[in-house]
Chain A
Amino acid sequence: MTGGSIFWAVIQRELQIAFQRLGDLVSPLMFYVLVTALFPLALSPKREVLQNLAPAVLWIAALLALLLSMNALFRTDVEDGSMEQLVIGPHSLPLIMLAKTVAHWLVSGLPLVLLAPLLAVTYYLPAEGVRALCLTLLIGTPTLSLLGSIGAALTAGIRQSGALLALLVMPLMLPVLMYGARGTDLAAQGETISGPLYLLGAFMVLSLTLVPLASAAAIRVSLD
């Protein structure tokens, strides 16, 4: 198999597995809806309060939902031995790790991006803000998935690693969160957001090129 075909083969396999376990697929979405529903209940359902809060809440909840789904990203593969087969195989491990992360984003990140505008409307976010929220999430969540994959690969051999994973990757995710939420907020106030968008794009390109190398090195450590 060439490099390209192993990439698609891994994505296909991951998607097949994901659709066999619909529960795992839906739970981050439920979490996203629930967390965003907590704020109006705990704070105030007033329009102006929610409007101010919307960019931060929708971004933070998306980050947490994604983090929650990252926990078991490589664990089952490490436990059932299929990861070991991929590592000793002839294919480039960084490419395989990238494929796995892309597949994970397709099943957990993309649905969050699609769900976000619905939730944004319940927060009375103006149309400009909703558009910016979708855009920033679309560019930002792949970076979050990639950064999370390093942490997931490092902790793949550790049980009860949820809190550790959060501690490892949350500081790294901060820039994405800051520009994502801030960009949404700026757009809601009617300002241009090309600056935050360019930065988010730069983060994504940088992590697309470097992160697979790091997570490949990390998964090798977890395997032996």
Chain B
Amino acid sequence: MWTWFHKLASPPHFYRMAGLLRPWFFWPAVILTVIGTYGGLVLAPPDYQMGDGFRIIYVHVPSAYLSTTIYGLMAVAAAVGLIWRIKLAHAVAASAAPIGASFTALALGTGMLWGKPMWGAYWAWDPRLTSELILLFIYFGYMSLRASFEDVNKADRASAVLAIVGVINLPIIHYSVIWWSSLHQGPSIKKLDAPSITGDMLWPLLIMILAFTLFFAAILLYRVKAEVLDREQNSRWVRDLVSGEV
């Protein structure tokens, strides 16, 4: 078992594995996205309160789900890299951050588009929107900290510390924002009471969540491959690889 683990952590082996695995994530993601989009936009009935406006959840919910899941994955990878000094884990954390930030931005953007017809404003200081915005800034902080070190090793370890601090803080920030808004007196924008979702609305959503997750895995493998090549550019196997292909 451990030999398998060590083999996986070796860059050339991982590079080959990632190349082999990527299509197995990418193509199912494409097929499921098509099915989920058709189910969500055509087959699912319009909502009795929100009409067709609710259909944005088929993009919004998977991105919001991924925005936090990717942060968790990034922090775990960073911790593994920091504790066992596995460079590949650092490469995974570094590659996951921009993808996570993109999904966070997508969740925010679709949330705002949904908010305009439903709440009458693109932006409201709704607890969930606010904590999603803070998550975006934490991603930005992580990426700028990485960018400000020239030495990759130093950037890896410094950003790993930050990622771990962030993962402890994120729940605190999230619940703080929720409790804070409950301190507000007087009327504020109330979220429409979400009617429990019916089966025909639910299955496309689940398929979309799966599709987005597979898509994330495919993009992550692609980015980690590039990151590994960049980090190992002076090593022999990369030179062999390049001279073999050219």
Question: A interface vs B, CB < 8 Å?
Answer: 150, 154-155, 157-158, 161, 164, 167-168, 170-172, 174-175, 178-179, 182, 186, 195-196, 199, 203, 206, 210, 214, 217-218, 221-222, 224
Contacts and interface: CB of A to CB of B under 8 A. Distances in A.
Nearest to A220: B157
A149 B144 CA distance: 18
B144 A154 contact: no
Given A168-B145, A174-B177, A214-B165, 18 more contacts: A150-B161, A154-B145, A154-B161, A154-B162, A161-B148, A167-B140, A167-B144, A171-B137, A171-B138, A171-B141, A171-B169, A174-B173, A196-B183, A199-B176, A206-B172, A210-B168, A222-B158, A224-B154
Dominant secondary structure at the B interface: helix
Contact of A150 (B140, B144, B165, B172): B165
Contacts of A174: 134, 173, 176-177
B157 A179 contact: no
B170 to A, nearest CB: 9
B173 A175 contact: yes
B154 A221 contact: yes
B180 interface: yes
A164 B165 CA distance: 16
B148 A179 contact: no
Nearest to B183: A182
B176 A168 contact: no
Dominant secondary structure at the A interface: helix
B119 interface: no
B180 A179 contact: yes
B237 interface: no
Contacts of B169: 171-172
Contact of A221 (B137, B138, B157, B177): B157
Contacts of B144: 164, 167-168
B180 A154 contact: no
B164 A214 contact: yes
Contacts of A161: 148
B209 to A, nearest CB: 26
Contacts of B161: 150, 154, 214, 217-218, 221
A170 B177 CA distance: 15
Contacts of A196: 183
A158 B148 contact: yes
A178 B176 contact: yes
B149 interface: yes
Contacts of A155: 145, 148
